[in-house]
Amino acid sequence: MATVEEGLRSQIRNIEATYGRSIDDWIALIRSSGLARHGQIVAMLKAEHGLTHGAANRVALVSLAALEPATPDLDPVDALYAGRAPAVRAIHDRIWSAITALGDDIEVAPKKGYLGLRRRIQFGMIQPAARHVDVGVVLPGEPVTPRLESAATFNALFSHRVRVRDESEVDDELVGWIRRAYDRAG
């Protein structure tokens, strides 16, 4: 089974082959356009360069990530929680303690708005919100409950989401779902 990263690299290769420009050329084009918002970039790529919506979306995402100023000294977790309520960071820290107890083979993949969690494949994520922390897990076939929500409208990489509103909600049930997703990814 291909990983998410392999799938994204394949999509970029296909875009390069189909539209005759390297991703670096697309990034340079977007830089010179002066556009900085995802929707504006997608619209320009579709209207002026004939890209499909999916191709324009991927090029916009890759370009925006490449054009984002580097902050090498800023810890990815600190960056995610900058300006958020201390209670939200405390929820994250409690979740993180439970995750690190699962094993030392977890790879953290910082993304723009969340931390991806991987073993052989991605199994989960942690994403701060205004007053809670979302935990996404990959548990195909697991039934949806009021607490273990479908992630269909949240993030297509995950099957379920749990909104953690308080440190006390980092309980055996939540840790069990994370553990099952972790076990399946190994």
| pLDDT at residue number 171 | 97
Reading the chain (186 residues) residue by residue, the pLDDT tens digits are 456 677 788 889 999 999 999 999 999 999 999 888 889 999 999 999 999 999 998 999 888 888 876 555 668 888 888 889 999 999 999 999 999 999 989 999 888 789 999 998 999 999 999 999 999 999 999 999 999 999 998 888 899 999 999 999 999 999 999 999 999 998
| Phi, psi angle pair for 156, to nearest 5° | -65, -10
Residue 155 has a pLDDT of 86
At 126, give phi and psi (nearest 5°). Answer: -125, 125
pLDDT at 1: 47
- Which tokens belong to 23? 């991703």
Q: What is the pLDDT of residue 61?
A: 87
- In angstroms, rounded to a whole number, what is the distance separating the alpha carbons of residues 23 and 112? 19
Residue with tokens 């296909």: 14
